[in-house]
Amino acid sequence: MGGEHLGSIMGMTTPEIDWHINKPDLIVAGVGWDRLLQALRETSGEAFEVLGPALPGAWWEWLYSEKEGDAWPVLAGEYRGQAYVLADGIGPAMAADRVPLLAAHLDTTVVGYTYDDTSASCTLVVARESELVRFALNSMWGDHEEGEALAGENESTDLLLRHLGFDPGLWLAHGSTLRLHWGPLDPEAEPNAHHRLYFGPLRMRVDHIEQAALAEFEDEDEP
């Protein structure tokens, strides 16, 4: 593993840490961090700049820091050969098609999860190699489901992830973490890549739900 890419959390003795604080988006993959980082860049065209290791015991301070220009703070790394990414907006609510793109590119299992407190909506995408295993969106404006419900899915996100072999809490407690800047695609500068990633096949299958939510929020903003 590339030494320039990985830094260790030091001084943590708790067996597990709650990654749900402030409800960040989550991406996990059954490969090491260096491979996931390369795949994130190659499949999306987005910018992922590695800045350095997270501060010992204070990963949340970075994750919830202010963005710089168009760059959003990201926390990422690995634990026992599996890669993890936490960031606002990086998950399947914004780019559901990112998950199957990564899974096919890496030939492994990739999971994406978003929970939006404001709209009480939850989006889950699970892909294994070239197969879409599960795509589920549950919100106040409608639901969409593809694939069978997975073990643990109806009980908790953590249980679902453990059944799939992932544990973000153990990663944060015992794994390696990095601070990154992530730059989403600009629709004017890169219209084709922007549409492919953020408005791909999965997104378009639930677009009517997204539009209903947007319309309600716009109605609430009108005087």
Which pLDDT tens digit goes with each residue over 102-142? 999 999 999 999 998 777 789 999 999 999 999 999 988 88
How far is it, in rounded angstroms, from Cα 101 to Cα 33?
Answer: 16
**Does residue 46 have a pLDDT over 50?**
yes
Q: Strand 82-87 relative to strand 131-139: parallel, antiparallel, unpaired?
A: unpaired
**Does residue 15 have a pLDDT over 60?**
no
The pLDDT of 90-95, averaged and rounded, is: 93
Q: What is the pLDDT of residue 73?
A: 95
pLDDT digits (tens, 9 = 90+) for 163-185: 999 999 999 989 999 999 999 99
**Does residue 96 have a pLDDT over 80?**
yes
DSSP 44: H
**Does residue 204 have a pLDDT over 70?**
yes
Q: Which residues have C-beta within 8 Å of that of residue 161, sequence separation ≥ 6?
A: 28, 111, 152, 167, 168
Look at residues 10, 12, 3, 53 and name the one whose alpha carbon lies nearest to residue 169.
Answer: 12
Q: Where are the domains of the chain?
A: 25-221
pLDDT digits (tens, 9 = 90+) for 137-157: 998 888 999 999 999 999 999
How far is it, in rounded angstroms, from Cα 40 to Cα 112?
Answer: 13
pTM: 0.87
Q: What is the pLDDT of residue 211?
A: 81
How far is it, in rounded angstroms, from Cα 84 to Cα 110?
Answer: 10
The pLDDT of 204-221, averaged and rounded, is: 74
Instruction: Tell me which residue has tokens 């791909």.
Output: 200
- % of the chain residues with pLDDT over 90: 68
How far is it, in rounded angstroms, from Cα 139 to Cα 210?
Answer: 9
CB 144 within 8 A of CB 135: yes
